[in-house]
Structure 1
Amino acid sequence: MTIDRLYENDIAQSRDLDDRGSAVDPARWPDVAARPESVTARIRGRAAEALFRRATAGLPPDAPRMIVHDEDALFRRVGTAGLIGFGESYMAGEWTADDLVATLTPLAQRIADIVPAALQRLRPIILPSHPRDEENSLANTRSNISRHYDLSNDLFASFLDETMTYSSAHFGSDDAAAHADWDDLADAQRAKIDRLLDQAGVESGTRLLEIGTGWGELAVRAAERGAVVRSITLSHEQQAAARRRATSAGLADRIRVDLADYRSIDGDYDAVVSVEMVEAVGRDYWGDYFATINRVLAPGGRAAIQAITMPHDRVLASTGTYTWVHKYIFPGGQIPSEQALRHAAAVSGLTPTYAESFGLHYAKTLELWRERFSAHRDRVAELGFDDTFVRMWTFYLAYSEAGFASRYLDVWHLVYTKGAGR
């Protein structure tokens, strides 16, 4: 990644105007609209610039370009708020990129080394801490989920495929994923769901609990097998959409969609399936999540989980860190490591019986979503979302894609079995 500074008299000004967008609404985006101007921000900005240039110094000269429109604002934001400031600077249009994913991928690869270890220990003192009202307690979880999943069903429909599945697809192989296009996505999502249902042993008569409904595709496919499905969500929008899909498919008598926290669930189930839900639980509650699964599973029952993971050392290093993703995308969440999930499941009494990672499939899934989102930018605007929101979601999708493309992030299918004893 090379850093180019472009000023008002540069020819790139007009070329990048669409990416830079319009002025930021201070009422809607106060922290994005506010440019750091204090003496402290200026001092921290100089330190941040030195660290940033150190981190990118070894990149080849033909690396993707990061185009900085307002250098002072970018580095002051980074110095004041770390990666939160980096993302807010993009939202403010203070920097752009010829290829955003390619620009972010080397940073994802070097994330553990960008800040020297000695300075990382100062993180709790220097950078913002996680707000207590975003902790995923029973009191807070519903509002955390609502802030993301209740934005608008039409928004998600603008970039998801016809299955409305908001999780990684499975294309069959890494090579197939690399060569996939939009027309392959819906079938790859159905294949992913069928793999999970097979792994959980879902068949006619199975009593299935789904933790995290999405928009109902998994529940419908399970009911089509003859399963009796109870699906739980904390999103009003998703509950309504999933109920409509069940009714439209003629399966309302087999699918029950409840607005409920996973910790409040009772009953006995032959199988549990949960797709990319554990990331929203929060580190303090991973044990509760697996304990709930163990409690409701019948003896010999299986749980099939799709989970995003990060390296275990980064889980430990980032404990308590408040991130851009927390602030703007997923409040209260925490990506676990496969090791952490294995430990939490073992403590609950569940036995691991299968594990498969397929992170490159998620990179492709996100690439297809990002391209679709960009193509439907006008439709998103018609829904009432402004240019700053569009830049925010563009950054979120690209940032996530870079994480999987760099292999910093991974995604797993994990299967656990409950023993014969209660």
Structure 2
Amino acid sequence: MTTSSIDRAASTADVPRPDENHWPGLETPPHSPFRAKIAESLFRRAVRTLDVRVLLPGGEKLGTGGSGSPEMRIIRPEAFFHRLGADAKIGFGESYMAGDWTSDTLAELLTPFAERMAVLIPPVLQRFRRFVDRRQPTSEQNTLEGARANIHRHYDLSNDLFGTFLDQSMMYSSAIFGPEDDLTAAQHRKIDSVLDYAGVRDGSEVLEIGTGWGELAIRAAGRGARVTSLTISEEQRTLADERIAKAGLSDRVDVQLCDYRESQGEYDAVVSVEMIEAVGAEYWPTFFGTVGERLRPGGRFGLQAITMDHERMLASAASYTWIHKYIFPGGLIPSTQAVERGMAENTGLKLHGVREFGQDYAHTLRLWREKFTQRWNKVADLGFDEIFRRMWEFYLAYSEAGFRSGYLKVHQFGFVK
């Protein structure tokens, strides 16, 4: 370990002890020597061929990476391996939050792991995953009440928090970048694309499932459409209404605090951007069926969705991960096959267009993460602590790595009734 690495590692050891009221169970690592030993063996095996540098106290180096490769510094190896042994899908991220390890190039470090996600655990051991994987808690299922609670845990954190790192469009989904686009222009390009898939034009009656902070509804109304927009986040509805009023479009946009399952009426177009990931697989037939019911004959559906390969979706469908515990409870990322089959089986709508732009999402996330880091003092002033900072950094970098590696993708779909 170089002197500079030792200095940087020492600074991370100063991460404050987690407040037990806010971060229950995070301060004290679980204790299971046998499982920790297995986790250490598997971790060493996983990183030995990766182009990374894993530095341990005492100078031991793992991985094939040279001096310019992404570097992971394990500061408290005992705590790190005990967390991995207790539950690798949660413990890896928790150990970063707690300061057991750190990296100055987090997204770059996580990308090689994401590229080999399917083979990090030897195939002979993967057959035992059903015995060790935690299942998603029944309390996080997306019933009408459960969905509201799940959304509240993320989207109702604070409008001001999201405002610190999103651009002025307040779009919290992947942009589509043109050659000269800044983030706001790229977000508008994305909105225009999904509205085109949905055939939104002057005079269209549009249903939006998932309001966000109102930008898509504003842009659709700017085309001359009338928009009914549904959200189950009170914080988002409040700010969306303010932004719509400021744009002078309150007479054309009606934001309702309403679950998609409680929606009414028929529309020329339905649009939904990155909301399906929060629906839950058991409710996908209901979601797709609702879209079909809300559309008039000849109507169109524009959908933007994060996706993963079908086999990976099936393998992870029942797993409870760090993302579920800390960021998005109750969700599942679909495959393109799940979307297209679900629409065919539950609506009879026909696919008329699709595009993929996962690397644009990696770029979007990098811009968000950079801005979040640069404006951390403003976030801290809102009452968020150092553990939250590390959690949010890991979330944004982990997601960026997923798209950089191709493990995750993002698609827009156009369907017609």
Q: TM-score, normalised by structure 1?
A: 0.92
- Matched to 1:340, the amino acid is A
Q: Which amino acid aligns with 1:223?
A: A
Residue 125 of structure 1 deviates from its aligned partner by: 2.2
Structure 1 counterpart of 2:302: 304
Q: Which residue is equivalent to 2:48?
A: 57
Q: 2:37 matched to 1:46?
A: yes
**Counterpart Cα distance in 2 of 1:13 and 1:230:** 56
Q: How does 1:5-404 map to 2 (within 5 A)?
A: 12-16=5-9, 19=12, 21-37=15-31, 41-59=32-50, 60-62=64-66, 63-172=69-178, 176=179, 184-348=182-346, 349-404=348-403
The C-alpha deviation readout for 1:211-236, integer Å capped at 9, x for no partner, is: 00000001011111110000000100
Q: Give the deviation of 1:120 after TM superposition.
A: 2.3
CA distance in 2, matches of 1:281, 1:314: 18
Which residue is 2:61 aligned to? Answer: none
Measured after TM superposition, the shift of residue 119 of structure 1 is 2.3
- Give the distance between the partners of 1:322 and 1:168, measured in 2 at CA: 24
Tell me whether 11-20 or 25-34 shows the greater mean CA deviation.
11-20
Unaligned runs of 5+ in 1: none
What letter matches 2:369 in structure 1?
R
Q: Deviations over 1:323-366 (max 9, x none)?
A: 00000000001001111111101102111110100000000000
Stretch of structure 1 that moved more, 305-314 or 195-204: 195-204
SS of 1:273's equivalent in the other structure is: strand
Q: Distance in 2 between matches of 1:399 and 1:17?
A: 23
What displacement does 1:117 show?
2.7
Alignment check: 8 A CA contact 1:80 1:127 kept: no
Q: Shift of residue 266 of structure 1?
A: 1.3
Counterpart of 2:416 in structure 1 is 417
SS in 1 for 2:399: helix
Q: CA RMSD in A?
A: 1.4
Of residues 96-105 and 59-68 in structure 1, the stretch that sits farther from structure 2 once superposed is 59-68
Displacement of 1:150 after TM fit?
0.1
Mapped to 2, the partners of 1:204 and 1:319 lie a distance apart of 41
CA–CA distance in 1 between the matches of 2:288 and 2:133? 32
Aligned positions, number:
400
Unaligned runs of 5+ in 2: 51-63
Moved more, 361-370 or 310-319: 310-319
CA distance in 2, matches of 1:99, 1:69: 16
Q: Structure 2: which amino acid aligns with 1:22?
A: P
Q: Which amino acid aligns with 1:106?
A: P
Deviations 1:108-139 (A, max 9, x none): 01111111233223223223221001011223
Give the deviation of 1:11 after TM superposition.
Answer: 5.5
- Residues 165, 17 of structure 1: alpha-carbon distance in 2 compared, 3 angstrom cutoff: farther
How much does 1:142 deviate? 0.4
1:18 and 1:277 mapped to 2: Cα distance? 39
What's the offset of the Cα at 1:14?
A: 3.9
Structure 1 stretch displaced more, 270-279 or 281-290: 281-290
Between the aligned partners of 1:116 and 1:258, the Cα distance in structure 2 is: 49
Is the Cα–Cα contact under 8 Å of residues 89 and 320 in structure 2 kept in the other structure? no
Report percent identity of matched pairs: 52
If the length of structure 2 is used for normalisation, what is the TM-score?
0.93
Output the amino acid matched with 2:82: R
